[in-house]
Amino acid sequence: MYRESRTGANWQARSACRREDPELFFPIGDTGPSLAQIEEAKAVCRYCVVIEPCLEWALESREAHGIWGATTEAERRRLHRLARPVEPTR
């Protein structure tokens, strides 16, 4: 679950998710019963001292699966779209 990052490798050692079942952060789907699991995972993230470097890592590496930095896959895709420069219309 943890990889090297430009944010530094040490942040993973301080993450709150290290004390949780990794399955919690990889829900199957984003509807129905998975919504409760997503919220439970995000709750762990919200109290984590390394939420920012975790999210930064997920965005930099374009992590496509799981909950990282209290964001879902769809939320990270949205953040990437918002961060793209907009071409001026002529």
What would the pLDDT profile of 29-87 be if each residue is shown by its tens digit? Answer: 989 999 999 999 999 999 999 999 999 999 999 999 999 999 999 999 999 888 877 66
CA distances from 18 to 41, 87, 89 (A): 12, 41, 47
Structure tokens at 57: 């890592």
Check pLDDT > 50 for residue 21.
Answer: yes
Sequence ranges of the domains in the chain: 9-83
